[in-house]
Amino acid sequence: MAAGDSLPALLAFTLVEAYLLQRTVFADETFRTVVLGAVAVNVLLKGVYSLVIWPFFLNPLRHLPKVSGPMSHSKIIFDSPRGRMPLYWMKTIPNEGLIHLRDMIGQSYLIATNHQALLDIMSTNTYDFEKPWRARNFLARILGFGLILSEGAAHKKQRKALTPAFNIKNIRAMYSLMWDKTNQLLVEMEKELTGNPMEGTSPEEGVGKLEMGVWGSRLTLDIIGPAAMGRDFRSLQNSDNPVAESFLRILEPTTEKMAFLAMNFTLPQWIAQRVPWRLNQVIANETGFLRNLCNDIVREKREMLAASRASAKDLEADILGTMMLGGDFSDTELVDQMLTFLAAGHETTAAALTWACYLLTLHPEIQTRLRTEIRTKIPSATHPITHADLESLPLLNGVCQEVLRLYPTVPATIRESIRDTTVAGKHVPRGTRIILCPYAINRAPIFWGENGDEFAPERWIDTDKAGNQVPNNNGGASTNFAQITFLHGQRACIGKDFARAELRCAVAGVVGRFAFEMQDPKQEIHIAGAVTTKPVEGMNLKMWRVEGW
């Protein structure tokens, strides 16, 4: 039995094999009893090997610093916030880059904790690791088999084809779109505040109630639509937008969705999809709608291309057109890529904007300083901006970097070694699971010191020779692997610069126009979510317009 074999799968195979043998060959009762007895002994021996002999006597990882006792999948998945326990282990278990833990059936997991381990997994030996098939098959129901879920040669091909669309020149050209959509957001938010005044105030006072998570999602959807596929969903102007509603139904953070995620990561999809659970139907309905939408957009673009009604310049205006011009993708592959960009391209930044507002309610003095900085550089919300206007603002960049550091949209992800390899100088056998935990790495004392849990935008601000404050890109950490919100290396998020630009625009617009605090200052916020992390209670803010901008 190999190190990476699944005990439940082996047991099931053995029992099925025995059942078929006794049905087709062994009619004699005595002989059948002997055979079934031998099968039972075989199952017992395999269990003893997997649960005792392999993990305690043969596993080459057994000598690594380890978490005491077996750890269930559910305990890690339902950790609140997800990543809390890995951060605790990093702080309390002395290690040289790897911490070893076992699950309830003896499967080995490694948690990467230092620069060398992260470098080996994400860069040096990155193609020695893949997302486990069960996780990929489930996530593909939502994201499609696009760039995020492709592996090996398919990933290299897709990455090469898509990289030109995400070069820094193209990203900076999108600032005008992002700023225009941010202005539309401000207009619509002000309407809601007027129509939804806080108790004890009149509409004329302009102090209203607003749930920031929904507005963040609508803003980023209206940015990724034109940028990725040339389609403006206008969800900011339409509260009943079906695309926004679909993603809300899929990604709304609930305990039920976490349990559903755990089931799908444990069982093969051909079983998981047949479980009579209402969420299976919800996922099927909503992803079916989104896939049909992407199909329609791809077909329309194909027809424009065939009829020569679109020039190369027109097609290059969005990611889908760029991919079509390359000619390397079938329509099915294009639909998968569009699903990926539609989901990942708007939900990540929407969550970041939500957490930015939360942190700024906890630190009103930073909120006030940031508003002053924004208004000093940008005369009004409707004033045209360039990338340099926002990228040069030290406090704005510090705030955005801290938000991405402290609240990574995907707090933990998993890989599996597909061959024997080496991590941080240690032999890692095929089948070993690797946990990459942005939530823990981004706060770890080894990188960030003892105040790694604190919101400190000043980390990202330097002083030049003339005494002026300027942004820096490392936050004072000694390695860029200290922050892995977007991962690094060949599997780094291709849209990281797009997301940062989007977040800068959104935070600048919202903070420049409004002041805000929590509707209930005593409300406790819980972080949860099956695919991305959001506040379970929503981000319910009391907001008002600050005149003069």
Those residues with Cβ within 8 angstroms of residue 533's Cβ, 6 or more apart along the chain or in another chain = 81, 82, 253, 351, 407, 408, 409, 410, 411, 527
Q: Are 400 and 393 in contact (CB under 8 A)?
A: no
| Cα–Cα distances in angstroms (integers) from residue 84 to residues 30, 197, 441, in the given order | 56, 37, 11
Cβ atoms of residues 262 and 78 within 8 Å: yes
Give the other-Cβ count within 10 Å of 175's Cβ: 21
Structure tokens at 332: 């099915």
Q: Are 129 and 434 in contact (CB under 8 A)?
A: yes
CB-based contacts of 409: which residues, under 8 Å, 6+ apart? 347, 348, 351, 352, 485, 532, 533
**The pair of three-digit structure tokens given for residue 23, joined into one six-digit string:** 């049905």
CA dihedral 445, 451, 452, 454 (to 10 degrees): 170
Query: Which pair of structure tokens corresponds to residue 17?
Result: 């094999």
Distance CA 159, CA 490 (A): 8
Q: Single out the residue of 296, 282, 307, 303 nearest to residue 338, CA to CA.
A: 296
Cross-strand partners of 540 = 211
| 205/376 Cα distance (integer angstroms) | 26
Q: Are strands 540-545 and 208-211 parallel, antiparallel or unpaired?
A: antiparallel
Separation of alpha carbons 529 and 537, rounded Å:
11
Beta strands in 356-425 (DSSP E): 413-417, 421-423
Q: What angle do CA 79, 80, 82 make, to 5 degrees?
A: 60
Whole-angstrom CA distances from 311 to 167, 171, 331 are: 21, 21, 20
Q: Find out whether the peptide bond into 81 is cis, omega within 30 degrees of 0.
A: yes
Q: Which residue do the tokens 């195979």 mark?
A: 13
Contact present, 421 and 125 (Cβ < 8 Å): yes
Give dist(CA 356, CA 240) in Å, integer: 25
542 three-class SS: strand
| Residue 493 marked as a ligand binder | yes
Helix (H, G, I), strand (E, B) or coil at 322: helix
State the residue for tokens 């946990």.
435
Q: Output the CA–CA distances (angstroms, integers) from residue 204 to 434, 543, 545, in the order listed.
A: 56, 13, 11
Q: Which residues are annotated as a binding site for heme?
A: 493
Q: Which residues are annotated as a binding site?
A: 493
